[in-house]
């Protein structure tokens, strides 16, 4: 093998550095570092290598991995994510698809500002430096990306289109301003992100300063306008994990119910009503229980509370305490377990159905941001209301009885609270006797006809607040003019550039507000002085549509060309961590629907198939600096090579499960790669061998068995790619093929035993079959271990580009077993085995089984009741 000699020569310098290696003239260890560097250099010289084809007649395939935040270095989760995507991209190339496999950088965000303060480096410089480092890591790992389409979200040629989209949202009435709460640290005098608020509610930099809530005017996108469609279309996403669809369904949280107005009792309000008005709007899904309402409960932050507490410092103080309890529970994430507290306001409201006067309470378990922030409390038919009523001795009134198929049970008093939805009304005036479903409809209609309510649908989903009081993000392209008010930046003036050389401190509010040349501008309407918006956009804006930009990454006139996007979309396979199951994936879906309504695209959904991979953990815990269990990809690549790191991340667990990283495991993979390499080196195929598949009739039983294994392996690997993506079993199958081939070749006269040097005469493996096995091994390995695969491909004299070489096909007839070993069970217990021809009938198998000594002794003295034969699998004889 001439290539072998050449490559030996290139390692001379390395050998001189390690003298003991000189003795290893016959050392056949695989030098992964040398081979990988060689190919990496070659690949990077050809920028067109992984480029998607334009105007291709092939079928398209868009495979995408979630783009990383350029934190400075890849972690093992990235390696796993990209190894999955890269294997798929390579497999699809080999199957003749026009593959789009791009990569980019989600490069705006908080860490760049933190780094700027710590290292006194401008965010842009820090970010672009990290991108360069991580890109080099990706190239070293051998990921096949079309870098000509690279998207970097922090650059103006990308974020100008964020601004463009924002103006489109504004034009369509889907972007609006409203007051909203932010975390405010009085020491820093600035807004904090949630992650900058410690668990005890204090500032991350001032651990004894309590974070306050402040109201600021902020921009919102009206995602709720699409709530119904976002929910409905989840049913169409059959290529998504059911888990993610369920999570999104719950997140959108549609519920049908009724709005009912409870008027405050005027007699109690002789002073008149406050700014919040004279009635409390309540949302309920169970208007049928309204005759059982014995109080109205307000969220502590409900506008009415301010009216009721004005001039009542005692009440005000109690309310403030409820607010504090609620906030604490929310921050700790256990709002579901809050210890229920409430306070009676001293006022009453009127139930519009029975004109009953019921007390108005304020309670810490009522949330302002769901429904109307007020409920009617029906203790007999709601768990939480029941618990609250028991605690404060409020009346509990039964108004629903169970309906049962068993007449005995119907009309008996149920255990309280009785929350089933299919009951019958009692004590409910004219509605008594109706079933719940009918009553809900009839009572909603009655409320609507009488002007005190209506049937309605509410969502848990809230509008998307996109304003951030930070520097490193897309400037929101809006102006504030004294004369004309809020004025959008004209589209021809985009992009609104993020100024450079801004001093980043964490104090004093939004950094852009301190740059006069940014803030001060002129109004495009009146020419008078105007102020720019100084908030920037949430980085989820960037990631909501970046995958469209990949299709046309250098378009200077539009976010992308519609025709080009139409060709590539929807994304055929999207791969990423399950932590993005809600926010990123719901915003992306929203953005797609908005773009469709603008006429930019014609798909309703961005992603056809979604795959959520498991986490990479170490010693049973998530990798983190504080635990000291971080595994660095660079170190793994330096020690074992990129192929080994990639292969191990696919082999150690099925990709949807968590992966517990073990260094000893990757050593095993390194051994396997060396074994593959040695198999080729020890079994060179003579030049004229070719790789025509030998016919089975020409083969000895031993050779035939190797051929069978070969075709079975192709089938297993192919099936797993088509189906469930259990790459761990794909790789096991390839290992088995190699083991089998090694065993057979060791017995073949073609080769000497590498250890003993003996020639062992055994079964002849014809070189045609050997060539077939070697060629197929390379092809099967190509998606998983591209470096070694390319090296071996070249070493067997192939000149075609392995990247586009056709994926091997298996022959079902050659894969079929000729003989089967059928386990024989007596009463379900294994008692023997018989070897039969693959096409044997049940009768002959039974005869063979009954002739077996062990079976004979097991059935002695009993009689056969029946036999069950599962073709090709098992024979069970049932005795009596």
Residue 707 is a binding residue for RNA (CB under 7 A): no
* 500 CB neighbour count, 10 Å cutoff: 10
Which residue's CB is nearer to RNA, number 53 or number 334?
334
Site string for RNA, 255-274 (x = CB under 7 A): x-x-----------------
**Position 330 contacts RNA (CB under 7 A):** yes
* Cα dist from 761 to 111, 492, 616, 741, 867, whole Å: 66, 81, 48, 16, 46
Supply φ then ψ for residue 875, to 5 degrees: -120, 125
Among 130, 294, 364, 649, binds RNA (CB under 7 A): 364
Question: Which residue, 117 or 864, has its beta carbon nearer to RNA?
Answer: 864
Q: Judged by CB under 7 A, which of 69, 82, 348, 672 binds RNA?
A: 672
Reported residue count of the chain is 880
Question: In a 10 Å sphere around its CB, with 0-12 CB exposed, 13-18 middle and 19+ buried, how is residue 204 labelled?
Answer: middle
Residue 227 Cβ vs RNA, minimum distance, rounded to whole Å: 11
Query: 67 pairs with which residues across the strands?
Result: none
Q: Closest CB to RNA among 234 and 523?
A: 234
Q: Does 811 bind RNA (CB under 7 A)?
A: no
CA dist 570 and 601 (Å) reads: 10
Say whether the peptide bond before residue 417 is cis (omega within 30 degrees of 0). yes
CB 792 within 8 A of CB 732: no
In the set 370, 392, 480, 567, which binds RNA (CB under 7 A)? 370
Backbone angles phi, psi at 555, to 5 degrees: -65, 125
Give one word for 656, left, alpha or beta, with left for phi > 0 and alpha for psi -120 to 50.
alpha
Site residues (CB under 7 A) for RNA, limited to 282-301: 283-286, 299
Q: Interface with RNA includes 868 (CB under 7 A)?
A: yes
Distances (CA, A) of 431 to 427, 435, 679, 702: 8, 9, 84, 84
> 660, 763, 811, 852: which one contacts RNA (CB under 7 A)?
660
Which region among 60-68, 164-172, 712-720, 776-784 touches RNA (by CB under 7 A)?
712-720
The answer, yes or no, to whether the previous bond of 570 is cis (omega within 30 of 0) is yes
Identify which of residues 528 and 754 has a Cβ nearer to RNA in the complex: 754
Q: Which is nearer to RNA, 404 or 742 (CB)?
A: 742
Shortest distance in whole angstroms from residue 379 CB to RNA:
11
What are 260's strand-pairing partners?
282, 453
Phi first, then psi: give them for residue 409, nearest 5 degrees.
-75, -35
- Alpha helices, H only, 95-239: 110-119, 123-141, 156-171, 227-232
Q: Considering the rule CB under 7 A, would residue 540 count as an interface residue with RNA?
A: no
From the list 15, 525, 678, 693, which residue makes contact with RNA (rule: CB under 7 A)? Answer: 678
Query: Can you tell me the distance from the alpha carbon of 92 to that of 782, in angstroms, rounded to the nearest whole number?
Result: 12
List the interface residues with RNA, window 421-480 (CB under 7 A): 460
Residue found by looking up tokens 């005759």 in the block: 291
Judged by beta carbon, residue 170 or residue 365, the one nearer RNA is 365
Query: Minimal distance in Å, beta carbon 582 to RNA?
Result: 6
Beta carbon nearer to RNA, 378 or 689: 378
Measured from the CB atom, is 146 or 301 closer to RNA?
Answer: 301
d(CA 254, CA 826): 56
CB of 830 to RNA, least distance (A): 5
* 178 or 671: CB nearest RNA: 671
Q: Which of 335, 403, 519, 814 binds RNA (CB under 7 A)?
A: 335
The Cα 439–Cα 446 span in angstroms is 10
Six token digits for residue 364: 């810490």
Which of these ranges, 368-376, 406-414, 472-480, 769-777, lies near RNA under the rule CB under 7 A?
368-376
Query: Which part of the chain contacts RNA (CB under 7 A), choosing from 133-141, 448-456, 807-815, 824-832?
Result: 824-832
Other Cβ atoms closer than 10 A to 801 = 12
Window 713-772: residues binding RNA (CB under 7 A): 716, 719-720, 723, 726, 728-729, 731-732, 735-736, 739, 742-743, 746, 753-756
654 binding RNA? (CB under 7 A): yes
- DSSP characters over 619-666: TTEE--TTTT----HHHHHHHH-HHHHHHHHHHSS-TTS-EE--HHHH
Candidate residues 313, 451, 828, 861; the one interacting with RNA per rule CB under 7 A: 828
CA gap 377, 296 in Å, rounded:
6
DSSP per position, 705-721 = HHHHHHHHHHHHHHHHH
652 in contact with RNA (CB under 7 A) = yes
When asked if residue 512 is in the footprint of RNA (CB under 7 A), the reply is: no
Cα 151 to Cα 5, 67, 139, 154, 156: the distances in Å are 43, 9, 16, 9, 11
Q: Which is nearer to RNA, 257 or 559 (CB)?
A: 257
Residues 839-858 that bind RNA (CB under 7 A): 854, 858
Is residue 696 a contact residue for RNA (CB under 7 A)? no
- Residue of 147, 164, 251, 480 that binds RNA (CB under 7 A): 251
Q: Find out whether the peptide bond into 495 is cis, omega within 30 degrees of 0.
A: yes
Query: Around 801, how many Cα atoms within 13 Å sit in the side-chain half-sphere?
Result: 12
Tell me if 473 sits within 8 A of 265, measured CB to CB.
Answer: no
Q: How far is the CB of 853 from RNA (least distance, A)?
A: 9
In the window 381-410, what residues touch RNA (CB under 7 A)? 382, 384
The minimum distance between CB 451 and RNA, in angstroms, equals 21
Minimum gap (Å) between residue 344 Cβ and RNA? 17
Residues 517-536 that bind RNA (CB under 7 A): none
The residue (of 128 and 276) whose beta carbon lies closer to RNA is 276
Tell whether residue 775 is a contact of RNA (CB under 7 A).
no
Among 674, 747, 762, 766, binds RNA (CB under 7 A): 674
Q: Which residues pair with 402 in a beta bridge?
A: 423
Placement of tokens 């930019």 in the chain: 600
Residue 312 or 722 having the CB closest to RNA: 722
Q: Work out which of 657, 816, 856, 862 binds RNA, going by CB under 7 A.
A: 657
Which residues fall within 8 angstroms of residue 293, CB to CB, at 6 or more apart?
351, 358, 376, 377, 378
The piece of 80-88, 109-117, 392-400, 656-664 that touches RNA (CB under 7 A) is 656-664
> Parallel, antiparallel, or unpaired: how do β-strands 104-105 and 151-152 relate?
parallel
Provide Rg for the chain, Cα atoms: 35
**Per rule CB under 7 A, count of chain residues that contact RNA:** 95
Closer residue to RNA (CB): 39 or 388: 388
Neighbours of 590 (CB within 10 A): 24
Interface residue with RNA among 192, 366, 479, 792 (CB under 7 A) is: 366
Task: Tell me if 179 sits within 8 A of 218, measured CB to CB.
Answer: yes
For residues 545-564, which are near RNA according to CB under 7 A?
none
User: Please, which of residues 204-223 interact with RNA by CB under 7 A?
Assistant: none
The correct pick among 111, 499, 684, 823 for binding RNA (CB under 7 A) is: 823
Q: Tokens 């051994």: give the residue.
A: 671
Query: x/- site string to RNA, residues 572 to 601, per CB under 7 A?
Result: ------xx--x-------------------
Does residue 149 belong to the site contacting RNA (CB under 7 A)?
A: no
859 sits in which H/E element = helix 853-859
- Helices (H) and strands (E) in the chain — how many of each? 27, 32
Residue 470 Cβ, how far from RNA at the closest point, in Å? 21
190 binds RNA (CB under 7 A): no
Residue closer to RNA by CB (options 629, 728) is 728
| Minimum CB–partner distance for residue 447 and RNA (Å) | 14
Map the footprint of RNA across residues 12-51, applying CB under 7 A.
Answer: 29
């Amino acid at each position: 093998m001439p290539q072998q000699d050449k490559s030996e020569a290139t390692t001379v310098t390395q050998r001189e550095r390690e003298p003991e290696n000189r003795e290893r003239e016959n050392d056949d260890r695989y030098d992964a570092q040398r081979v990988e560097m060689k190919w990496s250099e070659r690949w990077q010289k050809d920028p067109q290598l992984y480029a998607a084809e334009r105007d291709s007649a092939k079928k398209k395939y868009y495979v995408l991995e979630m783009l990383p935040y350029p934190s400075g270095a890849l972690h093992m989760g990235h390696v796993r994510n990209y190894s999955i995507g890269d294997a798929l991209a390579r497999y699809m190339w080999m199957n003749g698809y026009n593959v789009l496999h791009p990569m980019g950088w989600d490069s705006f965000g908080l860490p760049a500002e933190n780094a700027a303060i710590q290292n006194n480096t401008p965010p842009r410089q820090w970010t672009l430096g990290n991108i360069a480092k991580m890109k080099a890591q990706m190239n070293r790992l051998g990921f096949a990306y079309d870098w000509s389409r690279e998207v970097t979200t922090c650059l103006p040629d990308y974020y100008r289109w964020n601004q463009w989209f924002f103006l489109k949202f504004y034009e369509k009435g889907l972007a609006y301003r409203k007051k909203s709460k932010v975390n405010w640290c009085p020491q820093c005098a600035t807004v904090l992100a949630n992650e900058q608020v410690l668990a005890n509610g204090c500032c991350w930099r001032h651990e004894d300063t309590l974070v306050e809530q402040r109201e600021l005017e902020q921009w919102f996108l009206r995602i709720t306008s699409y709530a119904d469609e976002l929910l409905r279309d989840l049913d169409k996403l059959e290529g998504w994990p059911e888990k993610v669809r369920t999570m999104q369904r719950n997140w959108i949280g549609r519920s049908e119910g009724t709005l009912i107005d409870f008027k405050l009792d005027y007699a109690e309000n002789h002073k008149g009503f406050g700014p919040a008005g004279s009635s409390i709007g309540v949302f309920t899904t169970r208007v049928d229980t309204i005759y059982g309402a014995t109080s109205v409960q307000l969220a502590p932050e409900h506008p009415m509370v301010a009216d009721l507490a004005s001039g009542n410092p005692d009440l005000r103080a109690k309310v403030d305490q409820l607010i504090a309890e609620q906030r604490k529970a929310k921050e700790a994430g256990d709002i579901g377990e809050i210890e229920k507290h409430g306070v009676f306001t001293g006022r009453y409201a009127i139930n519009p159905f029975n004109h009953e006067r019921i007390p108005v309470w304020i309670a810490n378990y009522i949330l302002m941001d769901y429904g109307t922030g007020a409920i009617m409390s029906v203790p007999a038919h709601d768990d939480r209301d029941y618990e609250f009523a028991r605690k404060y001795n409020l009346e509990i009134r039964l108004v629903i009885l169970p309906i049962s198929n068993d007449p005995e049970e119907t009309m008996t008093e149920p255990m309280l609270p009785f929350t089933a939805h299919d009951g019958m009304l009692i004590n409910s005036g004219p509605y008594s006797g109706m079933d719940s479903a009918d009553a809900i409809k009839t009572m909603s209609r009655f409320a609507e006809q009488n002007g005190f309510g209506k049937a309605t649908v509410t969502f848990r989903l809230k509008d998307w607040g996109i304003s951030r009081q930070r520097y490193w993000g897309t400037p929101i392209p809006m102006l504030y003019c004294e004369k004309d008010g809020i004025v959008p930046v004209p589209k021809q003036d985009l992009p609104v550039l993020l100024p450079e050389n801004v001093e980043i401190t964490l104090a004093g509010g939004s950094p852009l507000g301190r740059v006069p040349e940014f803030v001060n501008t002129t109004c495009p309407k009146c020419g008078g002085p105007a102020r720019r918006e100084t908030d920037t956009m949430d980085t989820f804006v960037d990631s909501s549509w970046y995958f469209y930009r990949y299709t046309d990454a250098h378009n200077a006139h539009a976010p992308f060309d519609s025709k080009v996007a139409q060709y590539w979309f929807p994304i055929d396979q999207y791969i990423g961590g399950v932590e993005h199951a809600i926010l990123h994936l719901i915003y992306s879906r929203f953005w797609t629907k908005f773009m469709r309504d603008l006429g930019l695209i014609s798909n309703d959904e961005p992603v056809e198939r979604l795959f959520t991979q498991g986490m990479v953990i170490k010693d049973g815990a998530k990798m983190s600096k504080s635990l000291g269990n971080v595994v660095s990809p660079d170190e793994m690549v330096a020690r074992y090579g990129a192929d080994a790191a990639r292969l191990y991340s696919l082999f150690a667990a099925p990709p949807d499960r968590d992966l517990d990283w073990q260094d000893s495991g990757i050593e095993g993979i390194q051994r396997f790669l060396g074994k593959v390499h040695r198999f080729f080196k020890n079994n060179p195929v003579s030049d004229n061998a070719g790789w025509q598949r030998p016919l089975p009739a020409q083969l000895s039983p031993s050779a035939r068995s190797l051929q069978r294994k070969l075709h079975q392996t192709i089938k297993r690997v192919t099936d797993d790619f088509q189906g469930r993506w259990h790459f761990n079993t794909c790789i096991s199958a390839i290992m088995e093929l190699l083991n089998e081939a090694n065993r057979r070749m060791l017995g073949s006269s073609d080769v000497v035993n590498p250890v003993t040097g003996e020639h062992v005469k055994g079964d002849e493996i014809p070189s045609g079959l050997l060539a077939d096995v070697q060629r197929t091994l390379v092809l099967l390995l190509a998606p998983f271990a591209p470096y070694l695969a390319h090296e071996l491909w070249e070493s067997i004299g192939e000149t075609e580009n392995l990247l586009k070489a056709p994926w091997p096909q298996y022959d079902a007839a050659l894969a079929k077993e000729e003989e089967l070993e059928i386990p024989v069970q007596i009463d379900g217990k294994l008692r023997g085995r018989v070897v039969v021809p693959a096409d044997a009938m049940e009768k002959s198998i039974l005869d063979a089984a009954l002739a077996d000594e062990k079976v004979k002794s097991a059935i002695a003295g009993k009689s056969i009741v029946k036999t069950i034969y599962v073709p090709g699998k098992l024979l069970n004889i049932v005795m009596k």
